[in-house]
Amino acid sequence: MNAPLKIAIAGLGTVGGGVVKALTARGEALSGRAGRKLEIVAACDRDESKKSGLDARVWVNDLHAIAQSAADVVVELIGGENGAAPSLVEESLKAGKHVVTANKAMMARHGVRLAVLAEEKNLALKFEAAVAGGIPIVKSLRESLFVYGVSAIRGILNGTCNYILTQMEATGRSFEEVLKDAQRLGYAEADPTLDVGGGDTAHKLALLTGLAFGVKPDLDGMAVQGIAHITPEDISFAREFGYRIKLLGIAKITPQGLDLRVQPAMVNAGTPLADVDGVFNGIVADTKQAGPYFFEGRGAGEAPTANAVIADIVDIARGNRGPAFGVPAASLLTLTAAPAGSASSPFYLRFQVLDVPGVLAEIAGHLAKWRVSIESMIQRGRAPGEAVSIVMITHETTHAAVAGALETIAASDKVVAPPCMIPMEAK
């Protein structure tokens, strides 16, 4: 067997601890897969109590020592978009070390710059664990699904949001109630903004976009909307129309450019993406003539994410050092984004209005002025002078047209709450 592959790990939290446990418990089998022994030679964490499970000889006190250690591979698991994480990766690459990371925020923001440095040094920069931890989507896009090109990616990329929406549907409880449960169970952070606001999905979608389309990840050109405004009523109406509501990251090539957005969407019930429940992630990659590919698995957690990290380590041990984004970083294109509001689909619209004569005609008139055509409508019961819901499904139209009509409708004294608009994704 070849000389050992020496590994340094920065961050011994859930994932880092899982990597150490797996390398310790399954070292012989993993070394057989790698063709060489996998040996931890350095590790650190801000919490010094984490060193209790390690050989005392491998513990170091700072990130600089990790970067300057005898390791061949540095595993960055400390997280964070800026600051210590990108500094450690940059220093490690400059010191001649391969890097494996699970840091989606850092790679979405700094990945191209770091990939250029890795390629200049003939080093690997791998990030399978950064997107949908238990699903090998990064490797698939980088090494398999490129023959005919990719025309679209649609994905449920955040387990917290998917758990919340699944539980809202199952129990009829509100977003706020289910969020509290998710926090209690450890599925949501104490500050859940990054998850429920769509930011976490945006980081992951930016990376998938780079891999799928050969463009530079672009967070700033992405429209992002979370799930806090979704109500049990919306979920109930979606089910009645034959749909389920999911938070999707969507990237697809259109005649106007690359349509790139994160938003709640209605997905046809009974399709693979609609059937992804709980904390699971699901991704559909449309590869033109080769057809759609569907991936499903756990998006986070100790074992799935540690599995992705170690798979990258084994790849490096075998000598697989290809470009981080599948093509040389210097050849990644600058994103040509589709104009804001140009995305088209049918839309679900819900209006909370006073039950008074003329309100429906007023709404329909404003929609008509924006050339938004109504396919179907539900209004149940009567409550004269009180608030009721009117729900409509439109024919295919643009986001800009619907948003323009809703802005006008929201100004009416008969509309008592901001209208809800959810696009309907056909697949």
Which stretch of DSSP H or E encloses residue 202? helix 199-213
Q: Which two tokens mark 190? A: 């104490």
Q: Do strands 257-268 and 420-425 pair parallel, antiparallel, or not at all (unpaired)? A: parallel
Q: Do strands 280-286 and 152-156 pair parallel, antiparallel, or not at all (unpaired)? A: antiparallel
Nearest to 77 by CA among 309, 315, 324, 301: 309
Pick the catalytic residue from 50, 204, 216, 246. 204
Quote the CA–CA distance of 65 and 63 in Å, as a whole number: 5
CB atoms within 10 A of CB 361: 9
Per DSSP, helices labelled H in 295-355 are: 302-317
Place of tokens 């649609």: 154
List C-alpha distances in Å: 383 to 232, 331, 364, 387, 419.
20, 62, 20, 7, 19
Please state the φ and ψ torsions of residue 134, each to the nearest 5 degrees. Answer: -90, 5
Task: Give the distance from CA 295 to its chain's centroid.
Answer: 13
List C-alpha distances in Å: 274 to 49, 266, 282, 427.
43, 9, 9, 9
For the CA atoms of 319, 22, 161, 280, what is the dihedral angle to 10 degrees? 80
Judge whether 51 counts as a catalytic residue.
Answer: no
Which stretch of DSSP H or E encloses residue 15? helix 14-25
For the CA atoms of 383, 386, 388, 390, what is the dihedral angle to 10 degrees? 100
Length of the chain: 427
Q: Is 423 helix (H, G, I), strand (E, B) or coil?
A: strand
Q: Which two tokens mark 233? A: 């009523």
Contact 217, 108 (CB under 8 A): yes
Task: Give the distance from CA 113 to its chain's centroid.
Answer: 21
Max Cα–Cα distance, the chain, nearest Å: 83
* All residues at 6 or more sequence positions from 413 whose CB lies less than 8 Å from its CB, including other chains: none
Which residues are known to be catalytic? 204
